[in-house]
Every structure is written in C-alpha cells, then in structure tokens.
C-alpha cells in the first residue's frame, strides 16, 4: 500500500471521526496495514477508549488497571449512584461492592486507589464491610 491511497488523503477531522468507531483490536489491525497509516495512528493517537469490559471466567480472582489520567470520583459515583465505601485504614481507597448473579457467597469489589489505579477483585460476601452499600 502506498501513500496515494484515498483513505490517507482524508482530512484529519474526517479520519478521526471514522476512527472513533474503531475499538482496540481494530487499531491493532489498522497499524499492520501500511507504514503511512501506522504513522498517522501513532502521531494522532486516536481515543483508544474502552466503553465496556467483560470478564467471563469461573476462576477470575483479580484484575488491576492503571490510568494515565486522574480518575474522576464524581463521574464514578454518578455511574453507580452510590458513594463509595472509604476504608478506615486506607484513606486513598474507595470501594464499591457488586452482587454476582446466582452467587450469594461472592461479590465483585471495585477499588479505586489513589485515583490512578482501579482494581477489580472477587471477594467473599462475608468480607463486605457493614457500612458498605451492596449494588445489585
């Protein structure tokens, strides 16, 4: 593929609008297409957002995600509709607890730590703090 391909002649605004509909695997495939397109993707760095994440595993235990930006607590509270549980011993940690369908013994704990790390963890329902809200 050479630089005369019409896709690469599109204005940046149009190209970015098209790329907004791509997901991470699409970017990985596009980068392998040609050097010019790879260069465009690397320099413009289109928004590689993740709108949804799914974990489907019977052995899932823990997953940690690091953010390059500060996580907005007000946005997170707005999404879940409840204030986080704030641990007495770890002031920088804010936790939300979610019911796991068809499992009364386990919960999914979302822990936002220092506003740059998010940790998902399967935890025992018995370990949910008394003052915490359990989200269905």
Confirm whether pTM is higher than 0.75: no
pLDDT band at 33 (very low <50, low <70, confident <90, very high): confident
Largest CA distance in the chain: 64
Task: Please tell me the distance from the alpha carbon of residue 49 to that of residue 112, in angstroms, as a whole number.
Answer: 18
Nearest to 63 by CA among 50, 81, 74, 47: 50
| Tokens 């730590």 found at | 113
DSSP H or E stretch at residue 71? none
pLDDT tens per residue, range 68-102: 777 777 888 888 888 888 877 766 678 899 998 88
Whether pLDDT at 21 is above 60: yes
Q: Quick one: pLDDT at residue 51? A: 63
Whether pLDDT at 3 is above 60: no
pLDDT tens per residue, range 35-62: 877 887 777 666 555 566 676 777 878 8
- What is the pLDDT averaged over residues 101-108? 89
* Domain chopping of the chain, boundaries: 6-44, 62-135
Q: Quick one: pLDDT at residue 56? A: 75
Quick one: DSSP state of residue 44?
A: H
Task: Please tell me the distance from the alpha carbon of residue 21 to that of residue 12, in angstroms, as a whole number.
Answer: 15
């Amino acid at each position: 593929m050479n630089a005369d391909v019409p896709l690469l002649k599109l204005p940046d605004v149009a190209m970015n609008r098209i790329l907004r509909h791509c997901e991470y695997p699409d970017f990985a495939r596009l980068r392998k297409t040609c050097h010019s397109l790879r260069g465009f993707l690397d320099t413009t760095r289109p928004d590689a957002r993740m709108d949804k994440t799914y974990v489907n595993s019977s052995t899932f235990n823990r997953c940690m995600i690091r953010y390059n930006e500060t996580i907005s607590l007000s946005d997170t509270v707005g999404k879940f509709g409840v204030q986080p549980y704030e641990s007495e011993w770890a002031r920088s940690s804010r936790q939300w607890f979610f019911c796991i369908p068809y499992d009364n013994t386990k919960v999914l704990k979302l822990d936002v730590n220092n506003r740059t790390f998010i940790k998902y963890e399967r935890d025992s329902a018995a370990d949910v703090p008394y003052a915490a809200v359990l989200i269905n």
